[in-house]
Structure 1
Amino acid sequence: MDIESRLHELGISLPHDVAAAARYTPAVVHGNLAYISGQLPREGEAVYVVGKVGRDVSIEEAKRASRIALIRTLAALRDALGSLDRMEQVLRLVVYVNSVDDFTEFSSVVDGASELIFDLLGQQRGQHARTSIGGVKLPRNAVVEIEATFALYPTS
């Protein structure tokens, strides 16, 4: 399956040049694994959804933000590899959710990213491990931040 064609079918355009916001690299490829640094729900330089879930942001808005952050994650992988052709599977997502103290519905927020993975890769290849964590603050007051680990097809 051509991942970029599938993204196009889903009406998704990956942003170009997902640059680091500080002194780190957005993606590290080591052997057949790729590690993607935390990505915010940014469109250009602006963070698309800011604030705390449970006070400023609804679960649906936060869910949409996790989807946008995953799109940036895929863009960082594409930038590191030149294309998404080597992406075999998303192995693991770690999602930080900016929320009020008594908010506990982290899984509902993270479903925005997971649903996109299943839409993109299908039920079998879309299986992934994930962790969702509530946080007091995230960079730029973003509502979510996603880091990911990908399995890559070997180069020939």
Structure 2
Amino acid sequence: MNLEQRLIDLSITLPAAAAPGANYAAGVMHRDVVWISGQLPRDGDRVLVSGKLGKEVSIAEAQGAARAALLRALAALRDTAGDLRRVRQIVKLTMYVNCSEDFSEHSAVADGASDLIYELFGPELGRHARTSVGVAQLPRNACLELDIVATLEE
């Protein structure tokens, strides 16, 4: 599986990777595992979808935001690993959903990113571990933040 080629086949262009805003790395690689720091659904410095699920933001809007945040995570993965052709699989997705206390559709929001991972990697490697949780607030009032863990070809 060549992730770089798959993105081209699907006409998906990754954004530029965002530089960390403090004393941390956008990604850390140890042997064949890469951890990517949390990514907001942003275009440059602009948050694409802000607000709380269960109040101002619909599930459909948040699913689109999840897709955008995943693309930013893949850009950070590219920069950390040096080449997307080295990526074997996304093994873990964690989704943090900015939501009202009565919102309970966190998994539906995470589907926006999970569906894209599945589309990119296919049925064999596209299935991944996942956690989705609701939180009281996120940076810049973003509707969600996600992080991923990926493995590389040896």
TM tier relative to shorter chain:
over 0.9
Contact 1:110–1:132 at 8 Å: present in 2 too?
yes
4+ runs deviating over 2 angstroms: none
Residue 146 of structure 1: how far off its partner (Å): 0.5
Residue 127 of structure 1: how far off its partner (Å): 1.1
Alignment of structure 1 residues 47-86 onto 2, 5 Å: 47-86=47-86
d(CA) in 1 for partners of 2:23, 2:141: 19
Who is 2:29 aligned against? 29
d(CA) in 2 for partners of 1:12, 1:43: 15
d(CA) in 2 for partners of 1:17, 1:99: 26
- Counterpart AA for 1:5: Q
Who is 2:148 aligned against? 148
Alignment of structure 1 residues 84-95 onto 2, 5 Å: 84-95=84-95
1:114 aligns with 2:126: no
Contact 2:34–2:81 at 8 Å: present in 1 too?
no
TM-score if structure 1 supplies the norm length? 0.95
d(CA) in 2 for partners of 1:19, 1:118: 27
The share of aligned pairs that are identical, in percent, is 50
Contact 1:18–1:79 at 8 Å: present in 2 too?
no
State how many pairs are aligned: 154
Contact 1:16–1:79 at 8 Å: present in 2 too?
no
Deviations, residues 122-148 of structure 1 (Å, cap 9, x unaligned)? 011101000001000001101110111
Distance 1:17 1:59, change over 3 A: closer
d(CA) in 1 for partners of 2:16, 2:110: 24
Contact 1:65–1:144 at 8 Å: present in 2 too?
yes
- Counterpart AA for 1:144: L
d(CA) in 1 for partners of 2:3, 2:90: 12
- Counterpart AA for 2:50: V
Contact 2:17–2:72 at 8 Å: present in 1 too?
no
Deviations, residues 4-39 of structure 1 (Å, cap 9, x unaligned)? 121122221111232112221000000110000000
Gaps of 5+ in 2: none
TM-score if structure 2 supplies the norm length? 0.97
